[in-house]
Structure 1
């Protein structure tokens, strides 16, 4: 049965050229770039997301597994394995506008499909006072849809 979660995973599948801007506490920005590859694991249920970016001159890589929740239209469970050994968990849901909203506790994002071969994301961090501040803006351009 097709759900919002399975449709979102299918739209993510492929290789994306990624550019972004980090936003510091003082509002200063720093550009970065890289590549994101989303590909279905055998069986077509789980999606592997490989991140390979260069930020502040440092290469950063991670592997994330996205899995539709077992609850009907319960969103997407995400587990990210970082190169420093840390593991992060987050949850994603598709909102009424078709955007993918990610809740990672002290970070959150809205990912929007902006065209057949483009998407964008805006990340925010939770501040000590409980408010949110912009952390990162990301633009994705699909360069291969064969995943």
Structure 2
């Protein structure tokens, strides 16, 4: 059974995104800056997530949709960028303040209530045997979006 999408309400709005990219030794290797915007689609069954960030020297524009039921629990998360095919990840509620995003060789822990006006995320990637932190991010609220 899919959890109610309303559990993701803390994500809704516009966020200033910032952070650091880490090399394989955990040393800073680049900065992250931009915006993330989460909006509920008409009907309330899906959330859109628009990413407009610079990661190191690379500009990333991504449009994601979150909703539906993932076969392993949680929600489906489709990502559309400059790739020929959309990416598919799973988003699940780990506890009332922690979301886990899981994909092919990546995962991210989102602390959606890290503070009254911000969230944090730790991105990790796997080499097949262990997980290494790849990015550390902070999201500061810029306001609500129209629904």
Match of residue 8 from structure 2: 9
Aligned mates of 2:10, 2:20 — CA distance in 1: 23
Match of residue 118 from structure 1: 118
TM-score scaled by length of structure 2: 0.86
Match of residue 66 from structure 2: 66
* Runs of 5+ unmatched residues, structure 1: none
Match of residue 98 from structure 1: 97
- SS of structure 1 residue aligned to 2:7: helix
Asked if 1 retains the 8 angstrom alpha-carbon contact of 2:51 and 2:63, the reply is yes
Aligned mates of 1:36, 1:56 — CA distance in 2: 17
| CA RMSD across the alignment | 2.0
Match of residue 132 from structure 1: 131
TM-score scaled by length of structure 1: 0.86
Residues matched between the structures, number: 142
Runs (4+) off by over 3 Å: none
Aligned mates of 1:16, 1:84 — CA distance in 2: 25
- SS of structure 1 residue aligned to 2:87: strand
Asked if 2 retains the 8 angstrom alpha-carbon contact of 1:5 and 1:68, the reply is no
* Runs of 5+ unmatched residues, structure 2: none
User: Which one is further off, 31-40 or 83-92?
Assistant: 83-92
Asked if 1 retains the 8 angstrom alpha-carbon contact of 2:13 and 2:144, the reply is yes
What's the CA shift string for 1:51-107, capped at 9, x where partnerless? 000122332101010004278xx3111010112434211111112353001111300
